[in-house]
């Protein structure tokens, strides 16, 4: 790391992180900000889970058929696998799992998807869009550093942000077409804002947000919109009902040892070729590499720092995760598959 880069003495955020400042003791403003007492955090978690249980009850009462209760974005990684287990065995939901294969899922992630789906007795759809289209979108995100706002990139690289947005708006289309009332994600604490735990977004807000995304990739998506995402005509229809967006890990205890023990008992296995921050996607390595070269900090540093502040990771463990990021063999394989060179991107 550059000798001029300063790292917080309590977490792993460094001086390149947007909006950061340090005290005389070398502690960042995020660590020095007042934190909710543990009892209050637990109360918020319990209240949020109660709202989720009420939502499940309401949706089951309102529905006249016996279709799916929810659609889960299932990547085969540890967090979406743990989320699936919660939905099935804690909440007793009828689940359709949906895997968006971006062309860079590890073979072990694919095996985990198949094996866990069979183990838990859930339906799974694997959708693999054309790699030439996705690849061009990823290249655009890598090369155009002004594609996304600084705020959008604080928790994810431009590559991951591209994939996340495509998945979100594509799954929204699938949910509406299949009349599924809840769309579930496996975001862990530190990955999303607390206000996004349970919500039913405004239709026009979603449409505008989707337009921002599609405009950024207009040259690629222009003639393919109808296949992948909701059209303006669909958004204008009075017949569509926007599903609830829910992130169950935000109101369930997230203890790494417990998560790991649970999914390993289900037969889940760690990939041997992903980086320290991903248990499913090889492209994460390239996205993080470019982000760190361009902006000076790892996009997972905020999530890791939050886990440190909550006592779920030690600072040493957090630093170790960041120092294990780049697998050169995987990085070069991603560059080759996309048809670009390292000199072209940094």
pLDDT in tens, 19-74: 999 999 999 999 998 876 767 778 888 999 999 999 999 998 887 666 899 999 99
Domain of residue 18: give its range: 1-34
Q: Which two tokens stand for residue 237?
A: 């229809």
Same structural domain for residues 24 and 44? no
- In this prediction, residues 221-246 reach a mean pLDDT of 90
Q: What is the pLDDT of residue 53?
A: 96
The dihedrals phi and psi of 83, each to the nearest 5 degrees, come to -60, -45
Could you give the 3-state DSSP secondary structure of residue 100?
Answer: strand
Confidence of residue 322 (pLDDT cuts 50, 70, 90): confident
For residue 163, which of 208, 197, 131 has the smallest C-alpha distance? Answer: 131
Q: Are residues 29 and 55 in the same domain?
A: no
pLDDT given for residue 218 in this prediction: 86
More confident residue, 221 or 109: 109
325/198: higher pLDDT:
198
Question: How far is 20 from 153, CA to CA, in rounded Å?
Answer: 15
Residues 124 and 245 in one domain: yes
Residues 5 and 112 in one domain: no
Task: Give yes or no: residues 28 and 44 share one domain.
Answer: no
Coil/strand/helix, residue 275: coil
CA pseudo-torsion sign 40, 44, 45, 50 = positive
With H, G, I as helix, E, B as strand and everything else as coil, classify residue 81: helix
Instruction: Tell whether the model's pLDDT for residue 114 goes beyond 80.
Output: yes
Calpha distance 284→116 (Å, rounded): 22
CATH number of residue 76's parent domain? 3.40.50.620
75 and 16 within one domain: no
For residues 298 and 322, the answer to whether their CB atoms sit within 8 Å is yes
Pairing of strands 244-246, 182-184: parallel
Beta sheet of 182-184, edge-to-edge order: 123-127, 95-100, 70-73, 182-184, 244-246, 198-199
Q: What is the pLDDT of residue 157?
A: 93
Same structural domain, 53 and 174: yes
> Between β-strands 182-184 and 198-199, what pairing exists: parallel, antiparallel or unpaired?
unpaired
User: Quick one: 9 and 142 in the same domain?
Assistant: no
pLDDT at 134 over 70: yes
Q: Where are the alpha helices (DSSP H) in 147-255?
A: 158-177, 203-216, 218-221, 225-228, 232-236
Both 79 and 3 in one domain: the answer is no
- In this prediction, residue 185 has a pLDDT band, given cuts at 50, 70 and 90, of very high
Token pair belonging to 207: 């449409």
Q: Give the three-class secondary structure for 202.
A: coil
CA-to-CA distance for 186 and 320, rounded, in angstroms?
24
> Considering only CA atoms, which of 130, 76, 87 is closest in space to residue 281?
76
- CA 104 – CA 77 distance, rounded (Å): 13
Task: Assess whether 206 and 93 both reside in one domain.
Answer: yes
pLDDT of residue 301: 93
Nearest to 206 by CA among 173, 174, 159, 238: 173
Q: Is 249 in contact with 189 (CB distance < 8 Å)?
A: yes
The reply to whether 24 and 165 lie within a common domain is no
Q: How many domains does the chain have?
A: 2
30 and 62 within one domain: no
- Calculate ∠ Cα 140-171-129, nearest 5°: 50
Distance CA 84, CA 263 (A): 10
């Amino acid at each position: 790391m550059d000798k001029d880069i300063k790292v917080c003495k309590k977490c792993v955020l460094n001086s390149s992180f947007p909006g950061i400042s340090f005290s005389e003791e070398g502690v960042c403003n995020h660590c020095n900000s007042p934190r909710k007492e543990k009892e209050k955090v637990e109360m918020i978690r319990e209240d949020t889970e109660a709202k989720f249980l009420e939502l499940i009850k309401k949706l089951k009462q309102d529905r006249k058929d016996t279709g799916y209760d929810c659609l889960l974005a299932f990547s085969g990684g540890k967090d979406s696998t743990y989320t699936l287990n919660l939905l099935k065995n804690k909440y007793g939901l009828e689940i359709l799992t949906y895997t968006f294969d971006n062309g860079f899922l590890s073979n072990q992630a694919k095996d985990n998807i198949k094996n866990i789906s069979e183990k838990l007795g859930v339906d799974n759809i694997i959708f693999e869009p054309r790699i030439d289209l996705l690849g061009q979108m990823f290249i655009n995100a890598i090369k155009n550093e002004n594609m996304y706002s600084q705020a959008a990139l604080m928790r994810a690289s431009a590559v991951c942000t591209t994939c996340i947005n495509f998945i979100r708006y594509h799954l929204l289309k699938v949910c509406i077409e299949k009349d599924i009332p809840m769309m579930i994600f496996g975001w862990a604490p530190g990955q999303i804002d607390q206000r996004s735990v349970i919500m039913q977004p405004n239709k026009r807000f979603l449409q505008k947000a989707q337009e921002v995304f599609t405009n950024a990739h207009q040259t690629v998506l222009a003639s393919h919109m109808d296949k992948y995402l909701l059209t303006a005509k669909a958004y204008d229809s009075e017949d569509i009902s926007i599903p609830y967006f829910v992130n169950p890990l935000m109101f369930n205890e997230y203890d790494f040892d417990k998560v790991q023990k649970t999914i390993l008992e289900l037969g889940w296995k760690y990939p041997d070729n992903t980086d320290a921050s991903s248990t499913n996607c090889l492209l994460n390595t390239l996205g993080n590499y470019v982000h760190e070269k361009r902006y000076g900090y790892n996009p997972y540093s905020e999530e890791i720092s939050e886990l440190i502040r909550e006592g779920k990771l030690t600072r040493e463990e957090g630093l170790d995760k960041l120092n294990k990021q780049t697998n050169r063999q995987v990085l070069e394989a991603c560059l080759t598959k996309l048809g670009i060179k390292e000199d072209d991107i940094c």
